[in-house]
């Protein structure tokens, strides 16, 4: 199976996005990027041509991988769309769903007499859905779903709503897996009732097993 990705073009997104509020503050999330970087690393080891679009993380670039660093959801959208076409897109990034409507050019200050601050947020563009609907749609589109409850239900809904080929769901906020951990557990869902549990295991091992599924579908 390791040779099945040789010469294939894989596009992987990883890490969080940071949505700037002002020059000091931002909205972010706890994604470390480790899962996406593991996928990029293993894919490159198997001979794939890998482009990795990385949010703000502190991880070394895997050997043989072309890395594009971004900060915001808008920048990640542009980088992913600009890297098409490819054979497979694996969207492992935790992209912000919302971003501030306007960036404050100066640091927001406390206002005397008020104990609250209201931020107006607007939706970001849905990278996964737009890749799946793109004229240059990859042969395989894989999404990730980090959920705190009803993991399979929400992930199956994402699979159908965004019309992707696989969704890798993981539960976060409990135990020692998921965000910021070197280990994870995935429930991989696909059309026709396909369901495959992977792990708990090291993210490098999960990356290898997920890429086995990717290679099967690209063969």
Bridge partners of 170? 146
Among 17, 29, 51, 72, which one carries the catalytic annotation?
29
Per DSSP, 208 falls in state H
| Angstrom distance (rounded) from CA 13 to CA 44 | 14
29 has catalytic annotation: yes
Phi and psi based region of residue 173 (left: phi greater than 0; alpha: psi -120 to 50; beta: remaining): left
* Three-state helix/strand/coil letters over 74-125: HHHHHHHHHCCCCCEEEECCECCCEEECCCCCCCCCCCCCCCCCCCCEEECC
Taking only Cα atoms into account, the Rg of the chain, rounded to an integer number of angstroms, comes to 18
> The dihedral of CA 36, 42, 46, 51: what is its sign?
positive
Instruction: Give catalytic residue positions.
Output: 29
């Amino acid at each position: 199976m390791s040779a099945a990705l040789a010469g294939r073009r894989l596009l992987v997104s990883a890490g969080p996005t940071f949505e700037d509020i002002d020059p000091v503050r931002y909205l972010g999330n706890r994604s470390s990027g480790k899962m996406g970087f593991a996928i990029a690393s293993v894919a490159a080891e198997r001979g794939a041509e890998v482009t990795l679009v990385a949010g703000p993380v502190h991880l070394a670039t895997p050997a043989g991988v072309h890395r594009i660093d971004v900060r915001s959801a808008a920048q990640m959208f542009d980088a992913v769309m600009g890297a098409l076409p490819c054979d497979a897109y694996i969207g492992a990034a935790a992209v912000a769903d919302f971003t501030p409507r306007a960036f404050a050019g100066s640091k927001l200050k406390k206002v005397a007499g008020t104990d609250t601050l209201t931020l107006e947020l607007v939706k970001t563009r849905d990278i996964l859905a737009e890749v799946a609907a793109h004229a240059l749609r990859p042969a395989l589109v894989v999404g990730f779903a980090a959920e705190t409850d009803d993991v399979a239900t929400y992930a199956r809904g994402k699979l159908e709503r965004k019309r992707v080929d696989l969704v890798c769901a993981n539960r976060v906020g409990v135990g020692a897996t998921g965000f910021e951990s070197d280990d994870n557990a995935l429930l991989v869902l696909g059309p026709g009732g396909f369901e495959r549990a992977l792990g708990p295991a090291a993210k490098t091992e999960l990356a290898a097993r997920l890429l086995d599924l990717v290679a099967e579908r690209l063969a």
